[in-house]
Amino acid sequence: MINAVRQRGGTPHVSLDQQAVAALDRIPNPPSSSGPGRMLPFLRGLGGFAATVAFTFLGLLAITFFIGRVVPIDPVLAVVGDRAPQAVYEQAKVEMGLDRPLPMQFVSYVGKVLSGDLGKSVSTNNPVATDLARVFPATLEMATLGIIIGVLLGVPMGVMAASRQGSLTDQVIRVVGLLGYSVPAFWLGLVGLAVFYAHFGWVSGPGRVEIYLDGMVPTVTGLLLVDSLVAGDMEVFRSAVSHIILPAAVLGFFSLAYIGRMTRSFMLDQLNQEFVTTARVKGVPERVVLWRHAFKPIRVPLITVIGLSYAGLLEGSVMIETIFSWPGIGNYLTVALLNADMNAVLGSTLVIGAVFVGINKLSDLSYRILDPRAR
């Protein structure tokens, strides 16, 4: 560094060392790694997440409300009957708040939902919230077992198909995936009942448990497999497993088709990357190349695929529950539609939509846990 001070035209020149010090003084201090400076981005992110969930839920409420108003079903007639006098009809309409303008009805609807009031079911004469709390665990149990089957089979199938692209194994797995997209759910369920229940007798038939065992264990979680294990009643547990395995396997088949296809697509993209080629050139075992080098980067997008598949099983099990007489939310929704029970229909739709939104948000949260770049 030049420390001399030279004079040009009577104006002193600052040394280079002094210029460097002045420049450093002008650089702002980096934010502290702790304290309010670090908490502020976290609080902003948390606030944005909460606002997104709130607006999404509000939109879901609006959709379900206006669906209930545009369908050609009169909720007043569903309550009083089509033979009720006009005076009784008008009185019930006022009591239900349907005589007020739509904006006021919507505000009242949002307030009731937020307080846990989903109305009263015409079919069961019970509060809809009580009915949903009773039937939803059955759907959750079957869909959870179905997604477990889909993940345990679909992910390895997708990895195997990608690692053997163009081989007979790849072609067979792709055909299985195509069948999962093409075969109707009701047909596959009926064939499963005809073959595995009626012909071979390997599994039990429709229902959640044998009739004489219904209500034998106390309800703790609503999940019959869990409740029977908690109660130590192995007879009920074996009966529940025998009843759930076939509908869960049907749901798992559709799930593994989607998960396997997407896993194969993600893996093919990773196997063409340079870091995979480098690992193979270095002599890394193929198993390590597949599961440690190629599979690790696809975990984040695969979580979205699994989450969407799980949400689809929860909301798309209506046909399967109808075929297998499964006492879940899908069967409850079907009965409500047949009986023009709009409170039950809207309540079921709202719960399914809320579950879908919740699973999507959990998938976003998993991004931040597995991929530090998303934080």
Q: Render pLDDT for 100-143 as a digit per residue (tens, 0 to 9).
A: 888 888 888 888 888 888 888 877 888 999 999 999 999 999 99
Please check whether residues 109 and 225 belong to one and the same domain: no
Lowest mean pLDDT among 240-249, 258-267, 316-325, 355-364: 355-364
Q: Is residue 7 classed as helix, strand or coil in its secondary structure?
A: strand
Residue 4 pLDDT more than 60? no
The answer to whether 173 touches 160, Cβ cutoff 8 Å, is yes
CATH of the domain at 327: 1.10.3720.10
Residue 25 lies in a domain: no
Considering the domain boundaries, does residue 36 fall inside one? no
Could you tell me which residues come within 8 angstroms of residue 257 by beta carbon, excluding any fewer than 6 positions away? Answer: 154, 176, 177, 178, 179, 180, 181
pLDDT at 26 over 60: no
Distance CA 75, CA 128 (A): 15
Residues 134 and 110 in one domain: no
The tokens for 117 are: 């009031």
Token output for 340: 């023009």
CA angle 227–252–348, rounded 5-degree value: 65
Average pLDDT of the chain is 81
Q: How far is CA 142 from CA 36, 192, 214, 346, in A?
A: 46, 16, 17, 22
Cβ pair 25, 19 in contact under 8 A: no
Q: 187 and 75 in one domain? A: no
221 and 370, same domain (yes or no): yes
* 3-state secondary structure (DSSP) of residue 10: coil
Output the pLDDT for position 371.
Answer: 64
pLDDT for 234: 92
Domain identity same for 174 and 65: no
Residues 97 and 93: their CA atoms lie apart, in Å, by 6
Of 114, 137, 155, the domain-final residue: 114
The answer to whether 317 and 138 have CB atoms below 8 angstroms apart is no
Residue 36's pLDDT band (cuts 50, 70, 90) = low
- Domain end marker among 63, 85, 114: 114
H/E element holding 11?
A: strand 11-12
Residue 77's domain comprises: 52-114
The pLDDT of residue 375 is 56
pLDDT classification of 240: cutoffs 50, 70, 90: very high
In a domain, residue 254? The reply is: yes
Residue 30 in domain: no
* Side chain identity, residue 45: G
Query: Does residue 359 register a pLDDT over 90?
Result: no
Mean pLDDT, rounded, for 217-240: 91
Based on the fold, state whether residues 66 and 193 are members of the same structural domain: no
159-189 pLDDT per residue, tens: 999 988 888 988 999 998 888 888 888 889 9
Last residue of a domain, one of 114, 149, 184: 114
Give 178's Cβ-side CA count (13 Å radius): 6
Whether residue 162 contacts residue 271, with contact meaning beta carbons closer than 8 Å, is answered with yes
Output the pLDDT for position 132. 92
| Helices and strands, number each (H, E), in the chain | 16, 2
Angstrom distance (rounded) from CA 122 to CA 271: 57
CA distance 158 to 199: 32
Higher pLDDT: 372 or 70? It is: 70
Residues 147 and 216 in one domain: yes
Assess if residue 23 is contained within a domain: no
Confidence bin at 373 (pLDDT 50/70/90):
low
Residues 281, 311, single domain; the answer is yes
- The full DSSP string for 91-150 is HHHHHTTTTS-HHHHHHHHHHHHHTT---B-TTTSSBHHHHHHHHHHHHHHHHHHHHHHH
Q: Is the pLDDT of residue 374 over 70?
A: no
Residue 19 lies inside a defined structural domain of this protein = no
Model pLDDT, residue 156: 93
**Phi and psi (nearest 5°) for 226?**
-70, -45
Whether residue 108 lies inside any domain: the answer is yes
Could you give the number of structural domains in the chain? 2
pTM attached to this predicted model: 0.78
- In this prediction, residue 196 carries a pLDDT of 93
Q: What is the spatial distance between Cα 319 and Cα 250, in angstroms, rounded to a whole number? A: 11
265 and 364 inside one domain: yes
- Same domain? For 272 and 188 the reply is yes
The pLDDT of 325-351, averaged and rounded, is 85
Q: Which pLDDT does position 5 carry in this prediction? A: 41
Residue 305: C-alpha distances to residues 141, 253, 286, 313 (Å)? 20, 15, 25, 12
Q: What band does 372 get if pLDDT is binned at 50, 70 and 90?
A: low
Q: Which of 14-18, 156-160, 163-167, 248-252 has the lowest mean pLDDT?
A: 14-18
Each residue of 262-298: pLDDT tens digit?
999 999 998 888 888 888 888 888 888 888 888 888 8
Quote the pLDDT of residue 241: 94
* C-alpha–C-alpha distance, residues 13 and 6, integer Å: 6
Do 94 and 85 form a contact (C-beta atoms < 8 A)?
A: no
Q: Residue 32's pLDDT is what?
A: 47
Residues 104 and 139 reside in one and the same domain:
no
Domain check: are 204 and 254 in the same one? yes
Alpha carbon distance 267, 262 (integer Å): 9
Q: 3-state class of 12 per DSSP?
A: strand
Question: Domain for residue 2, yes or no?
Answer: no
Positive/negative CA dihedral, 318, 322, 325, 331: positive
